[in-house]
C-alpha cells in the first residue's frame, strides 16, 4: 500500500506458529529490474514483529510465482526489531534482473510495509 501504515491493521500479520518453518509472501514487480534497496517496516508491530527476515528473488516469464528451485538469495537472513523502519542496501546481494521477490519472515509475525527500490531493465 502507498504511504505509511497508521495501525497494525494496515499491514500483514501471520498467525503464530506452533511448529517449525516460517511464513512468506511473494510480490511481482511492476517490471523486470535489479533491486538496490529494500525497506521492511515493522512499525506498529511491537509484540508481534518477526525476529528476522530474508529476501529471495527470481526472474519468471509468467505472472505466476516461480517454482521453488528458481529462487536465489537477495538478502540472507537478517535480524529485525519491533516497531522499526529497516532500510537495507549493503546487505543486498547483486543479482540479475528479477520479476518476483519473496519476503520470508522467521518464524512469523507482522510487517507494516515492504518496499523495494531499484532500476528497470
pLDDT at 102: 97
The predicted-structure confidence for 66-97, as pLDDT tens digits, reads as follows 888 899 999 999 999 999 999 999 999 999 99
The predicted-structure confidence for 20-58, as pLDDT tens digits, reads as follows 889 999 999 999 999 999 999 999 999 999 999 999 999
pLDDT at 56: 98
pLDDT at 50: 95
| pTM reported for the whole predicted model | 0.92
Closest CA to 100 of 30, 36, 52: 30
pLDDT at 68: 83
pLDDT at residue 17 tops 80: no
What domains lie within the chain, and their CATH numbers?
A: 20-120 (2.60.120.260)
pLDDT at 42: 97
**73, 87, 106, 27 alpha-carbon torsion, rounded to 10°:** -60
Amino acid at each position: 500500500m502507498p504511504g505509511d501504515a497508521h495501525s497494525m491493521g494496515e499491514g500483514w500479520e501471520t498467525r503464530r506458529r506452533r511448529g517449525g518453518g516460517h511464513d512468506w509472501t511473494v510480490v511481482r514487480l511492476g517490471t523486470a529490474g535489479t533491486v538496490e534497496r529494500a525497506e521492511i517496516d515493522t512499525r506498529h508491530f511491537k509484540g508481534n514483529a518477526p525476529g528476522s527476515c530474508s529476501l529471495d528473488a527470481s526472474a519468471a516469464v509468467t505472472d505466476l510465482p516461480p517454482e521453488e528451485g528458481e529462487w536465489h538469495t537477495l538478502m540472507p537472513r537478517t535480524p529485525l526489531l519491533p516497531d522499526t523502519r529497516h532500510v537495507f542496501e549493503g546487505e543486498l546481494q547483486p543479482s540479475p534482473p528479477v520479476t518476483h521477490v519473496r519476503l520470508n519472515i522467521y518464524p512469523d509475525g507482522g510487517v507494516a510495509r515492504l518496499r523495494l527500490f531499484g532500476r528497470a531493465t
